Amino acid sequence: MPFTPPKDSFSGKIFEVGIGRGEKAVTIGGENVMPFHGFEGSAPGKPAVAFEVQDIPPDDWPDTVKEVFKDVSGDPVTWASYCQDSLGADAIALRLAGTHPDRGDISAEQAAETVKKVLDAVKVPLIILGSNHAEKDTAVLVRAAEAAKGTNSVIGKAQEANYKTIAAAAMANGLKLIAMSELDINLSKQLNILITQMGFDKEKLITDPMCSALSYGLEYTYSVMERIKQAALAQNDAVLQPPMLADVGMYVWKVKETQAAEADLPEWGELAGRGIAWEAVTASSFLISGAELLIMRHPAAVSAVKKFIAEFSMEVR
Amino acid sequence: MALTGVEIFKLLPKTNCKKCGQPTCLAFAMKLAQRQVSLDQCPDVSEEAKQKLGEASAPPIRPVSLGAGAKAVKMGEEMVLFRHEKKFVNPCAFAVEIKDTLSAADAARKIEEAAASEIDRVGQKLRVDALFLSNDSGDAAKFLELAKLAAARAPEMPVIVSTTSPDAAEASLGQFAGKKAVLYGANAGNLQAMAEKAKAAKATLGIAAKDIDELCELTEKAKALGIEDMVLDSGARSAGEILRDNTYIRRAALKKNFKPLGYPVITFANRPGDTLLEALVAGLAVEKYASIVVLGTAEKWKNLALFSLRQNIYTDPQVPMQVQQKIYKIGEPGPKAPFMITTNFSLTYFIVSGEVENSKVPCRLAVMDSEGLSVLTAWAAGKFTASKIAQFITESGVEGELEQKELIIPGYVAILSGAIEDKLAGWKITVGPREANGIPAFLKARAV
């Protein structure tokens, strides 16, 4: 019996979203097939990996990943430049962690200063993230958006509780916007609708369906992403056609598997390799389920994920 | 294509005799179409119908056992392409490659490493499931030595014997009689001889094709030679090839009921010298349709990541993962240590216990059976109520371990605090944080 490949084709297509400016600008999305299914359609873009940088030293990161940045993490500009120049980052994700009321309560003005300095120092696209404190983020991200005006940076995350102010700020300053909801395709859809109803262009959105770590809910994020992608492609649901983000590092580097010493749990094996594998396996799984943009921390994990991505355009036999 | 209930009904005796346990032949036909009953439950079915229905009711991906006995792994029988549609059925096997070019000592060490890989994770025993013995030397005598070593050191582990030489295959398969080994390496040049060796040893035949077209030809030929159990290798090696071929194979089997590809798939993730990349490619194989994933190495940390991923991907999307109801001790809690309660949804437990650990404050954590629901959902569904909590705490006997009878409840169910106090005489109920990430700050503040 001759074999005819059973190909799937879809009427829908993921929006192509450009971020940053100049030579280092990056485009994500644009495919009309499931992730890496270029064999049956068009998948022009490659997923991008952003290195996470914080406005304050990463005291809460485990040693495996904190050590790598110990010479640069005292200053966000040095840290971001290091990721761009020495690690070849596609993009930088600047998390304004120090603005959180429990982490120093840095003012919106000061945070905006940091954003400006980092923007002046790096050429790769910038993703500006709040501290995930819905109320404080409103103030911080408005000022941060003003500081990034006209740079085509990404800002977020807009959530149900604060999307109005943040979306308005992104719109006024020409930025791309991350819309995050909690692990539910309908919540993602609803938030994207609410934001577009304000007049925000849906082709400037990035959906964050909420990340999780391997063994800590990975399967939920994985399946929500696959369902969003299928609705976007097969049902041509425009509201679900923005590319997706997986904010991997912050979920991975707080679980026990990335922190517990081998001496305490010998059956888990060597700690550094385990932590790096935890981040890389989590990240690569979300590429398979549909993320086009990743935020990661450990250079070894990022480099493995990059090699993994490269293997999709490789014929070895 | 699978037959519909009505098509099946036409082939049944239509006597409504009820001997099958169903009220009518139509009801039986409907259940048959959904694969909830099997055809042999009908005593009066004709031979002709049996043949037609047998073919149509066979699962689109043939069930094949890897190995025999307690450590056998079921493969095949998958029904969907995406895990949100329905549970992925048979978790894939991880097989670690042992080459016959290794010294006996190195090979023994690798075999024992794989055999000792079992760990307990959320109540499941997980391990490297199989050995992939590879005849890299091309020398039949060396290969036989390796087979003997594996049979002696890991007698219960399922084995895949990889060679393109029928003679080498016969000799080493002899070491695994009755163990349902896989003979991998049947290709266009040796198919007939390999099929004979597999048949004689009652082994599964592993087809090693150049591409999917050749794969289809080879499985049809093998079937004509009387081989029923096969595993498929389309020759895919890069991540892109694996995703494409495994997707085509799964789709062809499920959507077109294309029999030549209706067998479990073996995927090679080996990346010599780059064990981390190997982990990622193996992860792709877990997610995208492999039944056997061949690895080059089995470091403990890599095993843990891959076992966890397989567990996540093969979880039933409709049934939340649960942990056992009991009082967990985190750190070494003394009589003054805080005592908290939450529900038994595995994610809730993992996150809460993780945050308690992060706080470095030793604690007792009561995990109550809420049928796998998270705190707020369990409360809304009446599974996490004051009287149930009180009953659990009383029956647990934890009281005797505590200096002060104080229970910390999740902030989301603050509303329950009064009712629990009424039902638990002498207890003080304290309302904790709403979100788990507030636990470290909460516990540290108490400890001062």
Which of A36, A220, A270 is the closest to B301 by Cβ? A270
pLDDT at B46: 86
DSSP strand pairing (B204-208 vs B230-233):
parallel
DSSP strand pairing (B73-75 vs B64-66):
antiparallel
Q: Peptide bond preceding A157: is omega within 30 degrees of 0, i.e. cis?
A: yes
**pLDDT of residue A317 exceeding 70:** no
Task: Assess contact for B88 and B291: CB atoms under 8 A.
Answer: no
Chain A's closest residue to B256, CA to CA, is A6
**pLDDT of residue A231 exceeding 50:** yes
Is A317 in Cβ contact with B241 (below 8 Å)?
yes
A61-74 pLDDT per residue, tens: 999 999 999 999 99
Multiple choice CATH, B5-57, 1.10.275.30, 3.40.50.10860, 1.10.15.40, 1.20.1250.20: 1.10.15.40
Interface test with B, best of A215, A222, A296, A314 (most B CBs within 10 A): A215
Which of B299, B300, B354 is the closest to A256 by Cβ? B354
A94-131 pLDDT per residue, tens: 999 999 998 999 999 999 999 999 999 999 999 999 99
Collect all residues of chain A within an 8 Å Cβ-Cβ radius of residue B216: 1-3
Collect all residues of chain B within an 8 Å Cβ-Cβ radius of residue A39: 240, 244
**pLDDT of residue B54 exceeding 90:** no
pLDDT at B418: 93
Domains of chain A with bracketed CATH: 17-312 (3.20.20.20)
What average pLDDT does the segment B118-136 reach? 91
Collect all residues of chain B within an 8 Å Cβ-Cβ radius of residue A304: 274, 276-277, 279-280
pLDDT at B255: 92
| Start and end residues for every CATH 3.40.50.11600 domain found in chain B | 326-447
Question: Would you report the helix, strand and coil content of chain A in percent, each value rounded to 5?
Answer: 45, 15, 40
Is B305 in Cβ contact with A3 (below 8 Å)?
no
What average pLDDT does the segment A210-225 reach? 95
Interface test with A, best of B127, B278, B301, B434 (most A CBs within 10 A): B301
pLDDT at B354: 83
Provide CATH code, domain B326-447.
3.40.50.11600
B351 confidence band (pLDDT: 50, 70, 90)? confident
Q: What percent of chain A has pLDDT over 70?
A: 99
Strand partners, A217: A213
φ, ψ for residue A155 (rounded to 5)? Answer: -130, 150
| Start and end residues for every CATH 3.20.20.20 domain found in chain B | 64-313
Amino acid of residue B310 = R
B383-438 pLDDT per residue, tens: 999 999 999 999 999 999 999 999 999 999 999 999 999 999 999 999 999 988 88
- Segment among A278-282, B19-23, B73-77, B167-171 with least mean pLDDT: B19-23
Task: Assess contact for A231 and A240: CB atoms under 8 A.
Answer: yes
Which of A226, A304, A314 is the closest to B82 by Cβ? A226
Is A300 in Cβ contact with B276 (below 8 Å)?
yes
Chain A's closest residue to B259, CA to CA, is A1
**pLDDT of residue A185 exceeding 80:** yes
**pLDDT of residue A177 exceeding 80:** yes
**pLDDT of residue B56 exceeding 70:** no
Collect all residues of chain A within an 8 Å Cβ-Cβ radius of residue B304: 257, 268-269, 274
**pLDDT of residue A15 exceeding 80:** yes
Closest CA to B192 of B215, B226, B160: B226
Collect all residues of chain A within an 8 Å Cβ-Cβ radius of residue B358: 254
Chain A nearest CA to B228, separation (Å): 17
Mean pLDDT score of chain A, rounded to an integer?
A: 96
CATH 3.40.605.10 fits B64-313, yes or no: no
Chain B nearest CA to A186, separation (Å): 15
Q: List all residues of chain A from 286 to 315 with a beta carbon under 8 Å from chain B.
A: 288-289, 300-301, 304-305, 307-308, 311-315
**pLDDT of residue A316 exceeding 70:** no
**pLDDT of residue B3 exceeding 80:** no
| Start and end residues for every CATH 1.10.15.40 domain found in chain B | 5-57
Q: List all residues of chain A from 219 to 278 with a beta carbon under 8 Å from chain B.
A: 219-220, 222-223, 226-227, 230, 254-257, 267-271, 273-274, 276-278
Q: List all residues of chain A from 21 to 60 with a beta carbon under 8 Å from chain B.
A: 36-39
The angle that helices A108-121 and A134-147 make with each other, rounded to 10 degrees, is: 40
Burial of A103 (0-12, 13-18, 19+ CB in 10 A): middle
B1 confidence band (pLDDT: 50, 70, 90)? very low
Chain A nearest CA to B248, separation (Å): 6
Collect all residues of chain A within an 8 Å Cβ-Cβ radius of residue B255: 6
Mean pLDDT score of chain B, rounded to an integer?
A: 93
CA distances from B342 to B113, B328, B435, B439 (A): 38, 11, 12, 12
Look at B346 and B217; give whichever has higher pLDDT.
B217
**pLDDT of residue B269 exceeding 80:** yes
CA distances from A8 to A15, A39, B160, B189, B286 (A): 19, 10, 34, 34, 22
Which of B251, B280, B350 is the closest to A304 by Cβ? B280
- Segment among A215-224, B55-64, B370-379 with least mean pLDDT: B55-64
The gap from C-alpha A203 to its chain's centroid, in whole angstroms, comes to 17
CA distances from B162 to B67, B137, B298 (A): 15, 11, 19
Is A304 in Cβ contact with B276 (below 8 Å)?
yes
Tell whether A104 lies on the interface with B, counting CB pairs under 8 A. no
φ, ψ for residue B372 (rounded to 5)? Answer: 80, 15
Interface test with A, best of B80, B312, B356, B358 (most A CBs within 10 A): B312
- Number of Cβ within 10 Å of residue B33's Cβ equals 19
What average pLDDT does the segment A30-59 reach? 96
Is A214 in Cβ contact with B308 (below 8 Å)?
yes
B196-242 pLDDT per residue, tens: 999 999 999 999 999 999 999 999 999 999 999 999 999 999 999 99
Collect all residues of chain A within an 8 Å Cβ-Cβ radius of residue B277: 304, 307-308, 311
B33-47 pLDDT per residue, tens: 777 787 888 888 888
Is A254 in Cβ contact with B354 (below 8 Å)?
yes
Using the Cα atoms of residue A233, residue A234, residue A236 and residue A237 in order, give the sign of their dihedral: negative
Is A277 in Cβ contact with B301 (below 8 Å)?
yes
Chain A nearest CA to B276, separation (Å): 7
CA distance B51 to B414: 63
Is B210 in Cβ contact with A268 (below 8 Å)?
no
DSSP strand pairing (A176-180 vs A154-158):
parallel
pLDDT at B45: 86
Q: What is the ipTM of this complex?
A: 0.97
Is A218 in Cβ contact with B82 (below 8 Å)?
no
**pLDDT of residue B2 exceeding 90:** no
- Segment among B44-53, B77-86, B255-264 with least mean pLDDT: B44-53
**pLDDT of residue A304 exceeding 90:** yes
Chain B's closest residue to A3, CA to CA, is B213
**pLDDT of residue B297 exceeding 90:** yes
pLDDT at B323: 85
